[in-house]
Chains A and B, each alone.
Chain A
Amino acid sequence: MPVEVPKEKWPGSVRTITLGALPSEGGTRKRVVTVGGETAMPFMHFEGEIPNPPVVAIEIKDRKPDDWSPLLLETWKDVIDDPAQWAAAAEAAGADLIVLALSLTNRNGEPTSPDEAVASVKAVLRATGLPLIVFGPGQAEADNALLVAVSEATKGERLALGICEDKNYRTIVATAMANDHLVTARTPMDVNLAKQLNILISDMGLPLDRILMDPTTGALGYGIEYGFSVMERLRLAALQGDKMTQLPMIVTPGFEAWKAKESKVGEGVPASWGDWLNRAINWETLTALTLVESGADIVVLRHPESVKRVKAAIEELMAAKSLVS
């Protein structure tokens, strides 16, 4: 007797969003990346469509970072002083897109100027054909000053500018609107807060298909269950037809995992923790994959080995589609 597999039929779907613009579209990218479009929960191929696989971004900085793990500094040591070379190396390592995180201060310890930020962004755009996400340093005033300059200097590239938060989003959204870019909207692990920020941003007139939402997460062992649950509920709401949650999700497991003691610390930890590098990569990989399973469309990573492993896993999960049909 054939077994009838129960299927959930969802009325809603996630919006499809494209990052980057080809020369024919007014940009300079060699390829664009499209995310979203899901009509089912992650990898539930038998219930609906997962038209675009989750993608992996590699995070680079405009200069050598002060607070990154020595393991990461070692990995990128040949390119770490030049964002253009770093971007090219990230592309070679298999990144689907690049996240450039601007620093609050330049190499000399002075505040990063808008001109310096524009120069870094342009150098990265020249060095890679991948779409680009640009994060400000994370301080409202600096974010606004640097991102406005970057946005104006790269009009038409369909960058994603971040990070919009509920206390500081107007300036970033306004400049993204004026220069044909996207924004990322971050809220602290809460379904309602995520929805609220999306409403605030769309109230300003930015179409919903230019917003990526970042529901924030924690690393493995540091609250990832909570992040998982919030993302899962956001996706369930989207599939149930709640327009303000039907946005692709971007999360930063690299940033989170490399903050964890297990990745950051190599000495004075129990021997049973095993090899430091292996452990750190495992931490980042597992954090990222867990989030992919909860509905992340873009995961931002730092180590090339993690990128390789996460991409391989995504490929397998997508291949499961053929088993269904």
Chain B
Amino acid sequence: MAVYRVTFNHQTEPVVVKSGTLITEAARLAGIEINQPCGGQGRCGRCVVQVTDGKVRQRSALRLSAEDIQMGYCLACQSVIEGDISVVVPEQEKIERRLVTDRTAIEVQPIPGYAPEYQQTLKRYFLEFSPPDYEDQTDDLSRLQKHLRTDLGFEEVEIPISLLKKISSVLREGNWQVTVYLDVLSTNDGNPTARMVDLLPNRCDEDSPMWGAAIDIGTTTVTLWLVDLWTGIVHAQVAEYNAQIRRGEDVISRIIYADKEGGLQELQELVVGTINQLIEIACKRVKHHRVSPQDILKLTVAGNTTMMHLFLGIPPSYIRLAPFVPTFNQAPLIRAKDVGLIANPHAVVDCLPGVASYVGADITAGVLSAGVDSTDQLTLFLDVGTNGEMVLGSKEWLVTCACSAGPAFEGAGVRDGMRATTGAIEEVWIHSETYEPTYRVIGGGKPRGICGSGLISLLAEMFMTGVVDKAGNLNTSLSTPRIREGEHGMEYVVAWKDETEHGRDIVITRVDIDNLLRAKAAIYAGFLVLAQSVGVPLEETEQVLIGGSFGKYLNVEKSIQIGLLPDLPWEKFNFLGNTAVKGAYFALLSQEYRTRIHEIASKMTYIELSADNTFYEAFMAAMFLPHTDLSRFPTVLAALQDSNIQFQTN
């Protein structure tokens, strides 16, 4: 097969690729970064590069103008190399860093009465041997095993070959005194399984920390807590964007990317890279102790099912294909070196169990940390992100479903939408007579766009002031210049260009409103289907617990006004932040909690909405402000009547 030379950014050394290679693949070989938010499907148009010399075959030129194509611009993910070419890659948009420490660090209390001797599976033992001599020529391993058996009672301990390599030197270095770390999982039959995690020379201080990490791999953000397993104290909380974002913003785009050649491995390396980076940052952030990544001996991981597959390098293809069956819901225990983590190579990595393709370990862990499985109260637990996953139940029973809300609440799919970072409008108020808005911007500066909470607030205000009708149509008969015909239909101007950072008007269009309506309708319809599936009226919910980082900024009043959340008294809503990492933290500390997550995963009933006619019906009914059945939203009805909103035209 023919091979061709591809030169990037006028670098002297070209990369050599086979005919038919895509520019994105060649760029990867050359170590050049090209963002692909849609996962390389040719939909987003963000991977534009310029071919300055030579020709490529373009599978698609979506979002490119004739002039762009004339100048050699093409979509890197859709351009097939069929000759020698030179490519210029424009500077890539930086992924804005979230204000991690300020906004997401929370105070965590260890489990009350935490007793590591009983609850912690990672055990530290001190062993003393008699050295071998001509009388006793027992081999080193057997000698070690004999002490594990006679001193500690472990009939069998799994010892990886890589640890075996250093046994002899460690035994001698410590002069036949060693500290051994075992991960001991008790089992139903009473014979615990023990895995050796590390073997160190000499006796170590019994109160010195034993380091572990709780991790939540989110589609957008990866969160890591560094924990002293001995005291249960969280010494560092860090979070960072999942580096996979560059290869697709949502799980479906990632799955599509993973199906490409080399894609799976790349995604696996990206997420492990993110975790390793977090491990390093977390270690540096610990006060009063010197911690190196190698000191981390146990890691517990939560994350949605796709993230778990990618973390372990397992093809996630079937997650997106009917009937939506993943390769696994519960992965076996592995060691850190198996996936390339920079923790101790033999550290046990415990991936928590999920329930289904779209209800993963982030939800089971969330249910645990929110206490849904132990409460008497009928509880609705909700994790708002790209997918809305929700659980209804109590200690008696649990039902769950996931609905594809789309990324509208994360600011994607909306013209001026953006993530919740500096410059995002996060709250809006509209005057009921002049229709003039007032808004608050994260960071206090000029606005660049609107984030999810801003969009919810904006839609609620537009509805309550009559700027839009119940179907989301803009009321063109109002006298305000802010409602106007835009490039893509009717729109409402939130900020004029002289107020904004980029000098362009910030608007919300009819299409944006439809996307928001679909997102909120999918979530509310999910609530209804869950409630109907067990025959309880949704209004009887006694508490609503909301997890996910987005949940923290959700305004209950506005969310009820647009019909995203059920119309319940505000005091019934509780925001819990990242419940997944907290659940992983509990499972990291205590085997009882770990067992509880496994029980949650096995007892939770999963309802597949795509196979459920009632969902479509409920979805259509919810595609209205606040809902087609207004009696479900009595307080909104009352507020509309109070404010005497006139829907009449003039």
Taking beta carbons and an 8 Å cutoff, which residues of A are in contact with B?
166-167, 170, 174, 190-193, 195-197, 199-200, 203-205, 244
Contacts and interface: CB of A to CB of B under 8 A. Distances in A.
B170 interface: no
B576 interface: no
Contacts of A205: 647-648
B639 to A, nearest CB: 15
B241 interface: no
A199 B628 contact: yes
Nearest to B475: A170
B623 interface: yes
Contact of A203 (B617, B623, B628, B647): B647
Contact of B621 (A167, A192, A197, A200): A192
A166 B471 contact: yes
B610 to A, nearest CB: 18
A195 B647 contact: no
Interface in B459-509: 469-471, 473, 475-477
Given A170-B476, A192-B620, A200-B469, 11 more contacts: A170-B473, A191-B617, A191-B620, A192-B621, A192-B623, A196-B624, A196-B628, A197-B471, A199-B624, A199-B630, A204-B649
A200 B471 contact: yes
A178 to B, nearest CB: 10
A197 B648 CA distance: 15
Interface of B: 469-471, 473, 475-477, 617, 620-621, 623-624, 628, 630, 647-649
Given A192-B617, A192-B623, A199 B477 contact: no
Given A192-B623, A204-B649, A199 B617 contact: no
Contacts of B475: 170
**Those 10 A-B pairs whose CB atoms lie nearest each other, nearest first:** A192-B620, A203-B647, A192-B621, A174-B649, A205-B648, A196-B624, A192-B628, A166-B471, A195-B628, A196-B628
A63 B608 CA distance: 53
B510 to A, nearest CB: 9
A305 B606 CA distance: 55
B281 to A, nearest CB: 50
Contacts of A193: 620
Contacts of A204: 647-649
A80 B12 CA distance: 79
A167, A193, A196 interface centre (most CB from chain B within 10 Å):
A196
A204 B617 CA distance: 26
A193 B647 CA distance: 19
16 contacts: A166-B473, A170-B473, A170-B649, A190-B620, A191-B620, A192-B617, A192-B621, A192-B624, A193-B620, A196-B470, A196-B471, A196-B624, A203-B647, A204-B647, A204-B649, A205-B648
Name B's interface SS: loop
A174 B477 CA distance: 11
Contacts of A244: 628
A15 to B, nearest CB: 19
A200 B648 contact: no
A174 B650 CA distance: 9
A167 B514 CA distance: 12
A203 B469 contact: yes
A237 to B, nearest CB: 10
A198 to B, nearest CB: 10
B285 to A, nearest CB: 52
A13 B346 CA distance: 73
Given A192-B628, A195-B628, A203 B649 contact: no
Contacts of A166: 471, 473
Nearest to B624: A196
Contacts of A192: 617, 620-621, 623-624, 628
Contacts of B471: 166, 196-197, 200
B576 to A, nearest CB: 33
Interface centre among A174, A191, A192, A197, by most B CB within 10 Å? A192
Contacts of A195: 628
Nearest to B473: A167
Max count, chain A CB within 10 A of own CB: residue among B473, B476, B621, B649 = B649
Contacts of B477: 170
A199 B626 CA distance: 12
Contacts of A197: 471
Contacts of B649: 170, 174, 204
Contacts of A190: 620
A40 B217 CA distance: 57
Nearest to A168: B473
A311 to B, nearest CB: 35
Contacts of A174: 649
A175 to B, nearest CB: 10
Contact of B470 (A167, A170, A191, A203): A203
B521 to A, nearest CB: 10
A38 B469 CA distance: 31
A244 B648 CA distance: 18
A201 to B, nearest CB: 10
